[in-house]
Structure formats: structure tokens, C-alpha cells
Amino acid sequence: MQNPPRERPVRDERDEMIDRDAKNWSLELVVCATQVLTVICAVKGNSAWKGSLSLLFFGVAAGLLYKYGQYREKPYLYVGLVSLAIGLALIIWFAVTG
């Protein structure tokens, strides 16, 4: 006698919330690790601190620009664009000087 096929549960809002929370947690851990890496590189005199610091500014810019898209409040846009510019400047500086 064969077993009946297992039914797959239907994805609901709770599953979407869990997926979203998992992505948020993983991003927070990556940000934390990047901050530690930036400090270690700066203390050791390794120029990679410029590249890892640029990643943090890109993360700030992405969060603020997303909030601007949701709220349409200008301060989010302005600070997001400034953060993006700083991130770009740091990554270009790192690419040129090493």
C-alpha cells in the first residue's frame, strides 16, 4: 500500500513575514561584520577600510532611499543621496589608491 502524497502547506502572510524578518536579521549581521572589519582594517593600517566603509554608506543610502519611496519625505531623499555620494567617493578612492 502506497502512502498518499504529502500536501504542501499554502504560503500565507506569516511565511512572508518570516522571510522578511530573516532577510532583515541577515542584513543586520552583515552590517555588524562589516563594521568590525572596517575597524580592524583601520587599526591595522590596511587600506581596505575605505572599501568596507563605503559598503556601510551604501547600506545607509539604500535604507533611506527606500524610506523616501514609501513616505515621500524630502529629508530621507537628501540624506540618502549624500550617503550614496560618500559611498561612491570612498569606493572610487579605494579603487584608485588601493
Residue 9: its pLDDT value, please? 74
CA distances from 41 to 34, 35, 67, 73 (A): 10, 10, 31, 36
Q: Which residue type occupies 92?
A: I
Predicted TM-score (pTM) of this structure = 0.81
Residue 69: its pLDDT value, please? 96
> Consecutive sets of 10 residues in the chain, 98 residues long: mean pLDDT of each?
71 91 94 96 96 96 96 98 98 95
